[in-house]
Chains A and B, each alone.
Chain A
Amino acid sequence: MKKLLWLAAASLAIALPAAPVFAKDEFHLYNWNNYIAPETIKRFEESCKCEVVQTYYSDNEELLAKLAAGAKGYDMLVPTSNAVEALIKGKQLKPIDKSQLPNLKNINPIYLNTPFDPGNKYSVPYAMSTTIIGYNDVKMKELGLPTDTWAVIFEPKYLEKVKGRITVLDSANELFAAALKYLGYSANDVDEKHWNEAVAVIKKARPYWAAFNASSYIKELTVGNIWLVHGYSNDIFQANLDAQAAKRAFHILQGMPKEGAVLAVDNMVIHKDAPRPDLALKFMNFMLEGKNSSELTNLIGSGNPNLEAVKYIKPEILKNPAIFPDKAVEAKLEQLKELTGAQRRLRNKLWTEIKAGR
């Protein structure tokens, strides 16, 4: 018995030294994984003489649920706009002292002063992505399918040709938005009649879809098992890089539907119980510098609201209309708004029926 206890202690002793010695100045960043370039972090750590401790989430809702239950200890969060709205209304954020953000002037004004945070009292734009169509160019050409309209994922006459080879996002908000856009309504339309129309469209297309998937669809697209996806622009961009690295015979391209799409702007916000709001503000200002902001775009192909960053972004990314859309397309992009509790419940009921095969 004693030997076993010694062994347990020894194992713990082996495991624990892997724990780093904590620096006195810690900045806790709660962020999406791979949503900041490692060089950027290093440079910030040098400039602020602090340590950046990152923890990750992979869904806005996970972040919201954890904070709603009372979790503390995070300095900065990076939620998407509708989540920012929820956080502001739920009084979870600390107001920003804009006098400490001289670099705020670098941001494109059309992304400032949003309806959910007028005057940018709490949030500052960080990076963007759109939810669009991703496709295997060889297969789409072979099958003669259009790639610039939501019809290709909703209309049976097109779906027949890709049956079982197409996935859509496993997100009620995203899929409803796509269906509403396809029907010609706003993505934020809350009319129940329009929702029922969207449900009908979805149910008609469902038999042809391989899956509702938000996690493993990208790799299936990249290796050619899936030919068409409803997905996020960053992921599709990365998929193409991976496909080229694997020397595949096809490209993975982004298709911006002409009916419009959802724009997701991720913002930097400070939690109300942040232990180091001063470091958070430093980080915000740091990330508002053009060069620092550009590094993420160059890494993952994310959209960038920072005008100064344009100087540092790779030209091929700048030319990509799905990442840097022209004015005409920009007009059709919409950010998702928060729903009321009753609307969320209705949407979930409809979504449950859709996913149960009813």
Chain B
Amino acid sequence: MSSATARKSARLGRWLVSGPPVLYLVVFFAVPTLIMVLASFRTPGEFGGLAPLVEDGKLDLNLESYARFFSEAIYAEIFLKSVWYALATTFFCLALAYPLAALIARSPKRYRDLLLLLVILPFWSNFLIRIYAWMIILGPNAALARTVNGILGGFGHEPVPLLFSSFAVLVCLVYVSLPFMVLPLYANLEKHDQALLDAAQDLGANAWQRFWRITFPLSLPGVFAGSALVFIPALGIFAIPDILGGPEDSLIGNVIKQQFLETRDWPFGSVLSIVLTVAALAIAGFAAWVARRNLGTPSSAREASA
């Protein structure tokens, strides 16, 4: 290929690859979202929805909803609480998912697909009944609660409710997020070369060293991908606190939902959503920046371990 045609086909390749997804997302995500971003500057309709954009020939835009968000501390408080829940969820998901993904990645090829499917299979059942199953497991008369409270009672402690509590919310958050950590981790661990680990072992590295100095750094892209796919959605969740949360487990997702439903204050709901999205993207960007700085790019990590 001559260099001119090579360049042309490279440019064509670039457009063919980036073009369709960008186009789709611009049309079906960016444009609708911009409508709601505009809504955050508008006035709520008296009976719901939004007030007319043009009122008496004048554009009705204001910063009232933003002012409300920044002037009342409670929203920031709830937001921080949600960040804590999301962080905790991500951490526990990682702890549970890593062994699962590692086992699947190291299994003989003929079992791998099946083991992977087994991880995701429960999540094709309906969300509600899975949560109801957890309510059965965590119920006050079920075995788990009886055991825990029996032990606590032995120490003279008051019985602790497992259901309708932060514990229940966290357990279910981890439960519904787990496959989104397992799958990206698996996709990464699957390509790890066993030869590297064997070589390290021959050179005298023990199991912990092999994991911490070779496997874990190489798996970091998978760790970050999984963490992003768990942390970011977990920030906006509302259904789980609604169904089995305690009286103080309201999260920012619940507050946002209320703005669109009970309060019918769409501009304020948009403001909260925008803050949430910007914060989530900022946290993800920050984490990626930290990763690049401390560990270099993935290719340099590969070179370092070569």
Contacts and interface: CB of A to CB of B under 8 A. Distances in A.
Do the two chains touch directly in the complex (Cβ atoms below 8 Å apart)?
yes
Interface of A: 59, 61-62, 64-65, 68-69, 86-87, 89-90, 164, 167, 170-173, 206-207, 209-216, 219-220, 223-225, 338, 340-341, 344-345, 347-349, 351-353, 355-358
A222 to B, nearest CB: 12
Interface in B31-88: 44-49, 72, 74-75, 77-78, 81
13 contacts: A61-B264, A62-B261, A65-B261, A90-B47, A172-B258, A210-B163, A213-B242, A220-B139, A225-B140, A341-B45, A344-B264, A348-B259, A348-B265
Contact of A338 (B45, B47, B74, B139): B47
A341 B243 contact: no
- Interface of chain B: mostly helix, strand, loop or mixed: loop
B247 A355 contact: yes
B246 interface: yes
Contacts of B255: 352
A235 B244 CA distance: 18
A149 to B, nearest CB: 21
A170 B263 CA distance: 14
Contact of A89 (B47, B75, B242, B245): B47
Contacts of B77: 356, 358
Interface of B: 44-49, 72, 74-75, 77-78, 81, 132, 135, 139-141, 161, 163-164, 242-248, 250, 254-255, 258-265, 268
Contacts of B247: 206-207, 209-212, 355, 357
B265 A358 contact: no
A90 B161 contact: no
Contact of B46 (A69, A214, A341): A341
B198 to A, nearest CB: 36
B164 A356 contact: no
Contacts of A206: 247-248
Contact of B262 (A213, A216, A348, A356): A348
Given A65-B48, A338-B47, A170 B242 contact: yes
A273 to B, nearest CB: 15
B258 A348 contact: yes
A239 to B, nearest CB: 16
A220 B47 CA distance: 35
Contacts of A347: 263
Nearest to B161: A164
A356 B261 contact: no
Contacts of B259: 348
A86 B164 contact: no
A353 B258 CA distance: 13
Contacts of B48: 64-65, 68, 86, 90
B267 to A, nearest CB: 11
A352 B261 contact: no
A211 B244 contact: yes
A345 B264 CA distance: 9
A65 B140 CA distance: 37
A164 B67 CA distance: 38
Given A216-B244, A357-B247, A68 B163 contact: no
Contacts of A357: 247-248
B84 to A, nearest CB: 13
A224 B141 contact: yes
A356 B49 contact: no
Contacts of B261: 59, 61-62, 64-65
A210 B250 contact: no
Nearest to B140: A225
Contacts of A353: 74
B250 A356 contact: yes
Contacts of A211: 164, 244-247
Contacts of B242: 170, 213-215
Most interface-central of A59, A65, A216, A355 (chain B CB within 10 A) = A355
Contacts of A65: 48-49, 260-261, 264
A341 B78 CA distance: 23
Nearest to A62: B261
A215 B243 contact: yes
A89 B47 CA distance: 7
A352 B248 CA distance: 10
Most interface-central of A62, A172, A215 (chain B CB within 10 A) = A215
A351 B75 CA distance: 12
A173 B262 contact: yes
A335 B41 CA distance: 34
B164 to A, nearest CB: 4
Given A90-B48, A90-B49, A225 B141 contact: yes
A167 B246 CA distance: 10
A349 B72 contact: yes
Given A348-B259, A351-B258, A340 B78 contact: no
Contacts of B265: 341, 344-345, 348
9 cross-chain pairs, A with B, having the tightest CB-CB distances, nearest first: A357-B248, A68-B49, A61-B261, A355-B250, A211-B164, A348-B263, A90-B47, A68-B48, A86-B47
A89 B46 contact: yes
B45 A90 contact: yes
Given A90-B48, A210-B247, A351-B258, A216 B135 contact: yes
A211 B46 CA distance: 31
B73 to A, nearest CB: 10
A59 B250 CA distance: 19
A175 to B, nearest CB: 11
